[in-house]
Amino acid sequence: MNSTFANFIKERRLGQDLTLRQLCQNTGYDVAYISRLENGLIDAPSDIEKLKALAKAYSIQLGSETWMEFSDLAATSRRSVPEDTYANPVVPRFLPVFYRKMRKDKLTSEDIKQLTSLLTGESAE
Amino acid sequence: MNPPLYVPIISDEELSQIASAFLEKHSQSDLLPVHIEKICDREGVGLLIVPDLTSLKNTEAYIANNCEVIVMDQNVFETQVDRARFGIAHELSHRILHTAHLEQFPISDADSYEAFHSAVSVDNLAIIEDQAYSLAGHLLMPSNLLNAEIERLINEEAAGNELTDNIIQRIVRALAATFMVSADAMLRQIKKVNNLLHQAITDETRAILVPPYVRAPVIASIR
């Protein structure tokens, strides 16, 4: 799993066997902008339409699993929480608790592993 | 204060072998033109394209962040593809040859760049730039492929007749187009790998192929 938005989109481009130049020529994107995104120097766009257009440039189908990962990493790169997660009523209650716990007790890597395991249903190995 | 930069001594023959092994590693040994941007991707080297870099930093390209990112002027990258290819190959060559030597200089900004320059003598800087220039030439114009192309074109264009200036100009232009490099870079590589053709190139032909107003080779710095 890619840990950053920059890595994610770069890996996505490499997976399509495209160079930076080819991707920009195919899509009309400014190469300076895309190179800054891929090097993690700027955050993903916050405007949803711009994010969708960017997804299209990287051949990411809206609503797909890849789109979910893409938009989650985009939100993380902007240090924000994905808008759609607020549709779940538990989230606004859960997040403040999570943030307080994180600040007060300094989550260990073991805590994060267990939390991830709980959320994904996968073993915390 | 940093110790002086240790400059490796590498012969041109060794540089040719290094290029050959590197291209083989990236499955580019027999592909023309060499896909240098794809090689960067495979090496994990990022390309960062910056508008007006040349006027901002007085250089068209440099390699930074422990040789992991090549920074290049947007205008060069977009409008002078041959020049951009050579610039990328040049910076990649610094990564191949000099990463270990540059470890003592964590170059990331203008101050650390100044510190690097003050620690390296002009002569040593010239040596490492020459090495990167030569390796870039071998990466983009591997001797085996270049010689094969020269032989093919001579047979095709001259067909046993004398190599006239016109024929040589056509051959060099065709070679430059095939390898996607400038005529100037091609002439320099021909000098290294094919003495027969090199000897046949007159000063007049050279002046026609590389007019005086053509800029000098890519100015690139280690940063």
Render pLDDT for A32-53 as a digit per residue (tens, 0 to 9). Answer: 999 999 999 999 999 999 999 9
> Are B35 and A32 within 8 A, CB to CB?
no
Taking only the tens of pLDDT, chain B with its 223 residues reads 556 677 888 999 999 999 999 999 998 777 899 999 999 999 999 999 999 998 888 889 988 877 899 999 999 999 999 999 999 999 999 999 988 877 777 766 556 666 777 777 888 888 989 999 999 999 999 999 999 999 999 999 888 788 899 999 999 999 999 999 999 999 999 999 999 999 999 999 999 998 776 555 555 555 4
Beta strands in chain B (DSSP E): 46-50, 61-64, 69-73, 220-222
For chain A, what are the domain ranges? 5-84, 88-120
Order of strands across the sheet that contains B46-50: B46-50, B69-73, B61-64, B220-222
Q: Coil, helix or strand for B63?
A: strand
Residue with tokens 């051949």: A59
Mean residue pLDDT across chain A:
86
A31 touches chain B (CB under 8 A): yes
Residue type, A65: E
Provide the Cα torsion B10, B16, B20, B21; round to 10°. Answer: -10
Please give the Cα distance from A34 to A2 (Å, whole number): 18
- Number of Cβ pairs closer than 8 Å across A and B? 30
How do residues A69-121 score in pLDDT, each as one tens digit? 999 999 988 877 777 777 777 777 777 777 777 777 777 788 777 777 777 77
Question: CATH homologous superfamily of domain A5-84?
Answer: lambda repressor-like DNA-binding domains (1.10.260.40)
Please give the Cα distance from B133 to B118 (Å, whole number): 22
Q: What is the pLDDT of residue B41?
A: 95
Please give the Cα distance from A78 to A51 (Å, whole number): 12
> Are B38 and A19 within 8 A, CB to CB?
yes
Closest CA to B170 of B157, B182, B180, B155: B157
DSSP 3-state percent helix, strand, coil across chain A (nearest 5): 65, 0, 35
Closest CA to B177 of B206, B213, B198, B149: B149
* Among chain B residues, CA nearest to A35: B48
Cβ within 8 Å of A, B 31-70:
35, 37-38, 41, 46-51, 69
Residue with tokens 């001797």: B143
Residue type, B205: T
